[in-house]
Structure formats: C-alpha cells, structure tokens
Amino acid sequence: MVWFTEYQTENVGLTIKAKEVKTINSKYQEIIVLDTEEFGKVLVLDGAVQTTEKDEFMYHEMLVHPALIKHPQPQRVLIIGGGDGGSVREALKHKSVEEVHLCEIDEEVIFVSEKYFPSISSKLRDEKVKIFIEDGNQFLEERKNYYDVIIMDSSDPIGPAEVLFQESFYKKVKSSLRKNGIMVAQTESPFLQEKYFKNAVKEIKKVFKYVGVYTGFVPTYPAGMWSYTLASDDVNVLDNVNKDRLDNIETKYIDEYLYTNLFAIPKFIKNMIE
C-alpha cells in the first residue's frame, strides 16, 4: 500500500491510496498505472493524473459530444493526444462518423491503456479508427481542409504540449478543418490553473470567429473543475442545436438538458475571459 500525491500546484495536492503501482518509462515521459480503491485504475503521466476508470466518463463525454452534436453531420474526426482511447470511444457513438484519426505522440500510452484500461481503450482497434504515432503539430501540416471535428485531448501546456495551446497551432487546426468544421479543446482548470485557462481561450479567440467556453466536474483533475472550449469559423457554437441526437447516444454525464444549458457557467469564470 502506498500513497501517491499529485502536486496540482506548488501548494496543493491530490493524495490517492494505491494497492499497486506500475511504472513504465517511455521515450517521452514517465507513465504510472495505479490500482486504487477509490478511482479504480489511474493513469499518471509525468506525475499528473490523466484519467481514472471511475471518473473518465465525465471528461470524455464533455470533451467530445458537444462538438459532434453541434456539427451538422460529422464524418471525419481527428483527436490529438488522447492515447488512452476515451475520446475515440465517445466519438464513435455518433452514427454519422466514418473515420476517426488519433494522433498520439507516445505509442507507449496506447499500449498501456490497452493493457490496463480496457473499458477506456475498447474502440482503439475499431475499423473506423486509424492511429498515427506522430507529433500533432507536424501531422496537421499534411492534412489541410479535411476534418469536420478536431478534438484537442492534450496534456497540460508544460513541456511538449505547450505548443498546442498557442495561436500558431490553432491556426493550423483551423486550416485542417473543412467547411462547418469545429474544434474543441480541453482548456485546463479555471481555478487552480487560471493562467493556462485564460491564455488558451485568449489564443483561440484570436483565430476563430465563434468561441464558446463551458465547464464540468472531473473530481481527479485540479479543483475538480474543468474547462472546454468550442471554436469554429462557420458554425455558431453557442447555438444549442440538434439536441435530439443525444437520444441515440449512451451517456452517463451529459443529457439533453445539460447540453442545452452548456454555457451556464459560474460568473467569475465568464469574467476571466471577457
């Protein structure tokens, strides 16, 4: 029995009791798999909790479904990051989706997820899915005007993922979207990571015409409070359209009522990004 602590800032940590700890060093990072009583299996990259069996649905549903529902008919989806497979699994719940490209820089994350997180990685080998072990920034260069939805399922903007939160990168995302394309990005915690959150939204606003920010619970992420940012040049992402599509999708977190009230977020968070 050990206690694992993620220091979410210099001054606050989440401490989790683990029955078993496995450590794998990949080319890019230290990957830890904890087996815990409270959250089931927990995936940790360079000390930061990425996903847990118990609360991953909150993050993956909120990241994926609003963008796919707002798009008139999403067929081609790109996920950057997200090697655990949770976003792939959610994207494939939409009938119109014909192909899902997953661009993950670290192959080892995929192997670890397939071995230890079968409920999250379950659709990674689906026939509609193609996996690219590449740098997201490079990958986009070769895919212009192609995707309907691009999902930024990245780790924190420190080290390798920093570039994924900058204006120059969002411009590439935009040019890889085709007509009516929508991007959605995880944009960190507005509470313990206020600086990262504000900066990400600011950079996205420089590039896209329509931008919408919403929040959701993820208990194992900093402050338990997470943000997501939708962006498009053609679709007004603030319109809550097509809500009946949720009838055909199995979810645990988002339902029609939550979806149509997606932007009912705390006032202090709105004030941060005005």
Q: Which of 29, 36, 121, 229 binds a copy of itself (CB under 8 A)?
A: 36
- Phi first, then psi: what are they for 148, rounded to 5°? -85, -40
The C-alpha atoms of residue 17 and residue 38 are separated, in whole angstroms, by: 8
Q: CB–CB of 76/86 below 8 Å?
A: no
Q: Is 217 in the site for a copy of itself (CB under 8 A)?
A: yes
Q: Give me the catalytic one of 153, 233, 244, 255.
A: 153
Nearest C-alpha neighbor of 173 from the set 210, 155, 148? 148
How many residues touch a copy of itself under the rule CB under 8 A: the total is 43
153 is catalytic: yes
The C-alpha atoms of residue 57 and residue 90 are separated, in whole angstroms, by: 9
Q: Which of 114, 194, 233, 255 binds a copy of itself (CB under 8 A)?
A: 255
Over the window 159 to 198, marking each residue x when it contacts a copy of itself by CB under 8 A and - when it does not, the resulting string is --------------------------------xx------
**Token pair recorded at residue 115:** 């071995």
Q: Which of 25, 127, 267, 274 binds a copy of itself (CB under 8 A)?
A: 267
Over the window 102 to 121, marking each residue x when it contacts a copy of itself by CB under 8 A and - when it does not, the resulting string is --------------------
**Token pair recorded at residue 51:** 């996903």
Q: Which of 30, 37, 98, 167 binds a copy of itself (CB under 8 A)?
A: 37
Q: Which of 2, 9, 115, 141 binds a copy of itself (CB under 8 A)?
A: 9
Q: Which stretch binds a copy of itself (CB under 8 A): 67-75, 95-103, 153-161, 222-230?
A: 222-230
The C-alpha atoms of residue 147 and residue 182 are separated, in whole angstroms, by: 9
Give the type of residue at 168: S
In the three-class reduction of DSSP (H, G, I as helix; E, B as strand; rest coil), residue 94 is classed as coil
Q: Using the 8-state DSSP alphabet, how is residue 221 labeled?
A: S
CA dihedral (151, 156, 162, 165) positive or negative: positive
List of residues contacting a copy of itself (CB under 8 A): 3, 5, 9-17, 36-39, 55, 57-58, 191-192, 215-217, 219, 223-225, 251-255, 257-258, 260-261, 263-268, 270
